């Protein structure tokens, strides 16, 4: 029987040897104090393996064979409600029967209490079968988990410190409803004329004299927006002055808004479902437009904290998209490999032709590198979050608390470093690999017969949703250069260490990784030096006595980082190459059979990084000058 989990050797490596299950299980099971939990790590991991195998068999038998049908049969809008076609509904009925909606939720809330890592690994498996099914599935347990963590952070969850069992939590009824498969949620952020620029959001929330909140406004492009529970970003603080902090992100708050409720067995709408978008791909995943008209809402946390809570949602979503992209890439590779092995041309199968062999080798190498970075990011994000819960609820000494706080800081730093990188690289490679899959199929790839064109249509949204590729690149650039400005001595020290290892390391692969790191440091140094130089030029006419404040404090990101913003995507590609190489080197040192993968990755990454560095060092001035002239002309016209 086909099994999308068992048939993937690289995925098996992570499950069996590449993930520190011990730390995850100890945190998830509260050091095995829960009365109905597993007795030790081995027992827990056996359960996780059984679940992964179950999902692998299910999607291979019940989802992948019907991908074309799911693509043809769109969800319909009938009398203001979204209606799933029978095949899609049958799949989600089976998912519910398998209790996957509560996979990572606590047992006391009806869940299985598995680590998020297991959810992410199965996300890849489901995404390989059909990425739009995975997209919708993610808005079940994922949104229930968000309700729980938000309640924890705002202080409305009570936990027994002796065994970690939740005694009560604010949205318990909603969470249990999702676990039972009776509802799901979504994130409502985007509005007309307000996408990546969240400061322009206009959906508003108002409070009546009794303290009740109501949301009014329109949201568009909402994935799984036909769900019941909506996390809505809305403006609660009005500011007359554009420079007032409340005029931008500081005026946003987060709300949980039920879109409907059941009264006497009938659904009563509290927010209208206006339309379902007709999309290029992802046909089994609804993208909706909604209107709220004084819809009753629950404020999450405090007023003005909306952006903070949104980041929590987006971090998880970006990790999820990374694993979805792995699944789609895996589907593209396997479809291309299978066709190339059978299609003969000029006396041999086309997978033995040099260019096609090179395509397939690069695709396989890059998806393995992406998996390494995604697993790394997911692990550190989950451990950081679960340490946060332990710090809030567990009884411990001051020494233990200080140690946990240091550990949490380390995990958060590692997760933050790679999250924008994996979202960027995964999304871009999903499109590239799907397009290559079409190319390898030739003329039949342009038809619907083999499914290659569907993969390309499904992939096209990956660089757009849950934060565009350009936003990810800007985040990575900002974090990287910001860290240099905060601690330049550390940056210089790490650069010198990389150059030394590039010459002195005994292992030739370690020397190559160090050279790649040195290339990355060169790119970073060029960008920060150019940024500082441009800033100094901007001090012309400023009294020298004011230079310290002007240079060290008064930074305008849009003005002072223009050169770095221009090259943000190039830097991000180098940063991903570097991060993947570091992770694969660590694997190779612990597991010698992984050396071959590291060598393949370096063969690709070294030349790419040198090319990106050359572009950063030699291009950009002409375009920036043109933009300056255009802006000057526009200002004069006004």
Residue 272 near residue 290 (C-beta atoms within 8 A): yes
pLDDT of residue 538: 66
* Domain annotation covers residue 50: yes
Question: Please, which residues have CB within 8 angstroms of residue 631's CB and are 6 or more apart in sequence?
Answer: none
Q: What is the DSSP string of 113-179?
A: ---HHHHHHHHHHHHHH-HHHHHHHHHHHHHHHHHHHHHHHHT-EEE-TTT--EEEETTHHHHHHHH
Domain boundary among 164, 183, 202: 183
Verify that 317 and 368 share a domain, yes or no. yes
Verify that 218 and 161 share a domain, yes or no. no
Lookup result for tokens 């003969």: 344
pLDDT of residue 246: 60
Domain boundary among 399, 434, 467: 467
- Reading the block at residue 57, the tokens are 């068999």
- Reading the block at residue 483, the tokens are 């860290």
Q: Is 216 left (phi over 0), alpha (psi -120 to 50) or beta?
A: beta
Q: Using one digit for the tens of pLDDT, what is the confidence trace for 235-268?
A: 998 765 555 556 678 899 999 999 999 998 899 9
271: CATH: 2.40.110.20
pLDDT of residue 608: 98
What is the C-alpha to C-alpha distance for residues 540 and 429, in angstroms, rounded to an integer? 44
Verify that 10 and 79 share a domain, yes or no. yes
* Domain annotation covers residue 99: yes
* Structural domain boundaries, residue 24: 1-183
385: CATH: 1.20.140.10
Question: Please, which residues have CB within 8 angstroms of residue 280's CB and are 6 or more apart in sequence?
Answer: 457, 460, 461
Verify that 265 and 338 share a domain, yes or no. no
pLDDT of residue 535: 79
Residue 565 near residue 362 (C-beta atoms within 8 A): no
Query: Which candidate, 232, 283, 256, 255, places its Cα nearest to that of 82?
Result: 283
Per the structure, how many domains does the chain have? 4
pLDDT of residue 429: 98
What is the C-alpha to C-alpha distance for residues 277 and 288, in angstroms, rounded to an integer? 6
Looking at beta carbons, which pairs linking 602-608 to residues 24 or more positions away fall under 8 Å?
602/509, 602/512, 602/513, 602/516, 604/362, 604/365, 604/366, 605/516, 605/577, 605/578, 605/580, 605/581, 606/512, 606/515, 606/516, 606/519, 608/573, 608/577
Verify that 138 and 13 share a domain, yes or no. yes
pLDDT of residue 170: 97
* Domain annotation covers residue 473: no
* Domain annotation covers residue 628: no
* Domain annotation covers residue 631: no
Verify that 388 and 328 share a domain, yes or no. yes
Residue 602 near residue 516 (C-beta atoms within 8 A): yes
* Domain annotation covers residue 418: yes
Query: Which candidate, 150, 148, 146, 149, places its Cα nearest to that of 299?
Result: 150
Q: What is the DSSP letter of 592?
A: G
Verify that 344 and 354 share a domain, yes or no. yes
* Domain annotation covers residue 629: no
Residue 297 near residue 214 (C-beta atoms within 8 A): yes
| Phi, psi angle pair for 462, to nearest 5° | -60, -40
Question: Please, which residues have CB within 8 angstroms of residue 243's CB and are 6 or more apart in sequence?
Answer: none
* Domain annotation covers residue 522: yes
Lookup result for tokens 């590609």: 573
Verify that 214 and 277 share a domain, yes or no. yes
CA–CA–CA angle 223, 187, 237 (5° rounding): 140
Reported as half-sphere exposure (CB side, CA atoms, 13 A), residue 629 has a value of: 6
Verify that 415 and 504 share a domain, yes or no. no
Domain boundary among 183, 215, 250: 183
Verify that 38 and 128 share a domain, yes or no. yes
Verify that 446 and 508 share a domain, yes or no. no
Verify that 359 and 455 share a domain, yes or no. yes
Could you list the beta-strand ranges (E) of 428-532: none
Which parts of the chain have pLDDT scores under 70? 195-196, 239-247, 538-554
């Amino acid at each position: 029987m086909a099994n999308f989990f068992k048939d993937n050797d690289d995925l098996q490596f992570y499950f069996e040897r590449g993930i520190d299950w011990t730390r995850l299980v100890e945190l998830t099971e509260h050091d095995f104090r829960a009365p109905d939990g597993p007795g030790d790590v081995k027992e827990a991991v056996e359960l996780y393996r059984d679940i992964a195998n179950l999902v692998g068999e299910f999607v291979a038998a019940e989802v992948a064979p019907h991908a074309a049908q799911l693509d043809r049969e769109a969800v319909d809008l009938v009398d203001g409600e979204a209606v799933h076609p029978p095949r899609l509904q049958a799949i989600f009925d089976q998912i519910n029967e398998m209790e996957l909606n509560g996979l990572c939720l606590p047992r006391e809330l009806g869940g299985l209490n598995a680590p998020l890592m297991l959810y992410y690994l199965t996300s890849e498996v489901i995404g390989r079968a059909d990425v739009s099914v995975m997209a919708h599935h993610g808005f079940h347990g994922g949104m229930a988990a968000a309700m729980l963590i938000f309640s924890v952070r705002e202080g409305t969850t009570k936990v027994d410190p002796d065994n970690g069992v939740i005694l009560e939590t604010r949205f318990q009824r909603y969470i249990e409803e999702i676990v039972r498969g009776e509802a799901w949620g979504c994130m409502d952020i985007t509005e007309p004329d307000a996408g990546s620029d969240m400061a322009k959001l206009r959906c508003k929330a108002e409070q009546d004299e009794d303290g009740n909140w109501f949301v009014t406004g329109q949201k568009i492009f909402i994935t799984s927006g036909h769900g019941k529970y909506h996390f809505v970003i809305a403006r609660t603080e009005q500011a007359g002055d554009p420079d007032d902090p409340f005029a931008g992100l500081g005026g946003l708050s987060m709300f949980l808004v039920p879109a409907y409720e059941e009264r006497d067995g009938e659904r009563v709408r509290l927010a209208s479902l206006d339309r379902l978008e007709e999309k290029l791909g992802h046909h089994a995943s609804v993208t909706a437009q909604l209107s709220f008209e004084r819809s009753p809402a629950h404020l999450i946390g405090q007023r003005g904290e909306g952006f903070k809570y949104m980041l929590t949602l987006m971090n998880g979503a970006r990790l999820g998209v990374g694993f979805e992209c792995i699944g789609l890439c895996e589907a593209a590779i396997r479809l291309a490999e299978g066709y190339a092995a059978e299609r003969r041309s000029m006396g041999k199968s086309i997978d033995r032709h040099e260019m096609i062999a090179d395509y397939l080798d690069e695709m396989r190498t890059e998806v393995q590198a992406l998996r390494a970075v995604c697993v790394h990011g997911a692990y550190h994000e989950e451990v950081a979050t679960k340490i946060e819960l332990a710090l809030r609820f567990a009884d411990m000494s001051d020494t233990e608390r200080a140690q946990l706080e240091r550990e949490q800081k380390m995990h958060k730093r590692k997760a933050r470093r790679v999250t924008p990188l994996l979202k960027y690289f995964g999304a871009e490679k999903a499109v590239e690999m799907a397009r290559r899959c079409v190319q390898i199929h030739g003329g039949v790839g342009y038809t619907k017969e083999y499914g290659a064109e569907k993969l390309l249509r499904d992939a096209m949204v990956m660089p757009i949703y849950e934060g565009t590729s350009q936003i990810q690149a800007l985040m990575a650039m900002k974090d990287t250069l910001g860290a240099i400005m905060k601690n330049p001595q550390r940056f210089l020290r790490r650069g010198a260490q990389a150059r030394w290892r590039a010459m002195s390391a005994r292992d030739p692969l370690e020397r190559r990784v160090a050279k790649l790191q040195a290339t990355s440091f060169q790119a970073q140094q060029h960008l920060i030096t150019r940024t500082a130089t441009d800033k100094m030029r901007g001090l012309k006419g400023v009294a020298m006595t004011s230079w310290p404040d002007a240079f060290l404090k008064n930074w305008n990101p849009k003005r002072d980082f223009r050169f770095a913003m221009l090259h943000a995507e190039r830097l991000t590609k180098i940063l991903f190459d570097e991060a993947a190489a570091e992770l694969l080197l660590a694997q190779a040192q612990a597991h010698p059979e992984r050396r071959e993968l590291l060598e393949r990755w370096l063969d690709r990454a070294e030349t790419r990084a040198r090319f990106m560095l050359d572009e950063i060092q030699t291009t950009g001035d002409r375009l920036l000058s043109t933009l300056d002239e255009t802006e000057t002309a526009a200002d004069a016209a006004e």
